[in-house]
Amino acid sequence: MKVHSRKTDVVIIGGGASGLAAAITLRMRTKLDVLVIEKLDEPARKIRATGSGRCNITNTAAADYLKIVSFFTLIGLVTKSYENGLVYPYSESAADVADILIARTKQLGAELACGEEVVSVSKEQGADTDRSFAVVSKYKDADGEHEVSTEAKYVILACGGKAGPMFGTTGDGYRIARSLGHSIVTPVPVLTGIECAEWDKDRRPCAVSLAGTRSRGVVSLYKKGQHGGDTVEDADRTDKIFEEEGEIQFTKYGLSGICIFNMTRHMRFDSAGGESLSDFVITADLFPGRDIEKVLRVRRDRAFPHERTSEVLRGVLKENVAEYVLGSVYAPGKESLDKEIRSIPDREMTAIGDAVHSMTFHPVRLRGWKDAQATAGGVSLREIDEETSGSKLVDGLYITGELADKDYQCGGFNLSNAWISGLRAAEAIADHHTK
């Protein structure tokens, strides 16, 4: 192993959203030497994957929306906001966002060290002098393995959380922050799909038949015991903790889609206290604001009584969803409800209505880090100054982006947090430096 050393003013650990925003702002505002250390071979890999390749940069409802749009305007990226509040680059290309951030970082004179992984950060005890941080990193090249020790005056920890480990975010920041005295709220994957018991192959009907189907509807989340219900069935009626209308994606494992992603942020439970995912139940209303029973009765009593139930439902639901609903209303072995509508009594109409308006799913597992778009948990917010992203425990240390215990719903809010916390860290360092 070859050992090297170098000196700089600011080390930014992680060339992702918050790290590059900080590097650019620092170089625009100061003459400080800035070194971005990125462990992957190129920076901004996750940014390229955001927004399904379109990069939902921010949202008009985000607290610092105007500041974020000004930042991108300043660096030369044209953005466009849509009626639903979502803001994208005008080209709708996430690659354009990544490319312009990398180009400006280099053009403004920040140094980028890629393929180099930071393994530790320490600060000289009681050190008040310049360059009191020692940042140790490792890389490999044709000459073998190298270890570099970098002395710096300021360190920005911008290495993200654990969501999307293929983009370099494997939770290194937690270890580094902990070694510097910070406490970590246990990280959990959020904005991810939900595996449900209804997809069990032995179950009849088995919801795997729905894989690949998308339906609009209102999804609701209930937790047993929230307001007194002791069983999931009680919870079903009493303890709603989340509701959102949107596109529900039925997959080969369970439920996905933005409304389901947002739901996962509310599926927190205390396993030490005996809670588990099976304390939750999800319902989907696939005909929100309307009354499917009324539709069925009108067909039965006034027109087309010879039509089969599945044919009537098909005007409202996709074919396989209608089949699943009818299969779930009747226990196996009993007569199918897919029969002429004139032979369906009111009681069975109500059962079909309940199944369409309250299709029920029982979560067994959240999809893991690979599928998650964000991390809940991270460096405790009690230990970070919101205005500057500065550590309240270690002078000269800044903690930005998803590494901190913050997570938001889909719609550009997670990137907003990354940009703004990076900008704040850079501004705080610039202000401190020019004092």
Ligand X SMILES: Cc1cc2nc3c(=O)[nH]c(=O)nc-3n(C[C@H](O)[C@H](O)[C@H](O)COP(=O)(O)OP(=O)(O)OC[C@H]3O[C@@H](n4cnc5c(N)ncnc54)[C@H](O)[C@@H]3O)c2cc1C
| Interface residue list for ligand X (CB under 6 A) | 13-19, 37-40, 45-46, 49-51, 55-56, 117-118, 158-160, 163-164, 167-169, 172, 373-374, 401-403, 412-415, 418
Element (H, E) at 309: helix 309-313
Q: What amino acid is encoded at 357 in this protein? A: H
Is residue 370 classed exposed, middle or buried when 0-12, 13-18 and 19+ CB atoms within 10 A define those classes?
A: exposed
CB nearer ligand X, residue 160 or residue 377: 160
**Which residues lie across from 114 on neighbouring strands?**
38
Of the pair 18, 150, the CB lying nearest ligand X is at 18
CB nearer to ligand X: pick between 168 and 254 = 168
For ligand X, the closer CB: 162 or 299? 162
Q: How far is the CB of 403 from ligand X (least distance, A)?
A: 6
Least Cβ distance, residue 100 to ligand X (angstroms): 15
- Closest contact distance (angstroms) between CB of 323 and ligand X is 32
Local structure of residue 147 (DSSP, 8 states):
E
CA–CA distances in Å: residue 421 to residues 152, 344, 359: 20, 60, 41
Q: Is the dihedral of CA 193, 196, 201, 206 positive or negative?
A: negative
Q: How far apart are CA 152 and CA 8, in angstroms?
A: 5
Least gap, CB of 333 to ligand X (angstroms): 44
215 versus 400: smaller Cβ distance to ligand X: 400
Which residue's CB is nearer to ligand X, number 163 or number 248? 163
17 CB burial (10 A radius; 0-12, 13-18, 19+): buried
Measured distance between the N- and C-terminal CA atoms of the chain, rounded to whole angstroms: 41
C-beta of 236: minimal distance to ligand X in Å?
32
> Which is nearer to ligand X, 53 or 109 (by Cβ)?
53
Q: Please report how the helices 346-357 and 292-301 are oriented relative to each other, as an axis angle in degrees rounded to 10.
A: 150
Cα 418 to Cα 373: distance, rounded to the nearest angstrom: 13
Buried b (16+ CB within 10 A) or exposed e, 217-251: bbbbbbbbeeeebeebebbbeebebbebebebbbb
Residue 27 vs 300, nearer CB to ligand X: 27
For residues 353 and 411, which CB has a smaller minimum distance to ligand X in the complex? 411
Backbone Cα Rg of the chain:
26
Q: Closest separation between CB of residue 50 and ligand X, Å?
A: 3
Minimum CB separation from ligand X for residue 43, in Å? 6
* Least Å from the CB of residue 96 to ligand X: 14
The secondary structure of residue 130, as a DSSP letter, is S
Report the residue number, 81 or 226, with the smaller CB distance to ligand X: 81
Please state the closest distance from residue 289 (CB atom) to ligand X, in A: 29
- Whether the CB-CB separation of 174 and 378 falls below 8 Å is answered with yes
Would you list the DSSP string of 228-296?
A: S--SHHHHHHH-EEEEEEEEEEE-SSEEESHHHHHHHTT----TTTT--GGGEEEEEESSTTS-HHHHH
- Smallest separation, CB 305 to ligand X (Å): 50
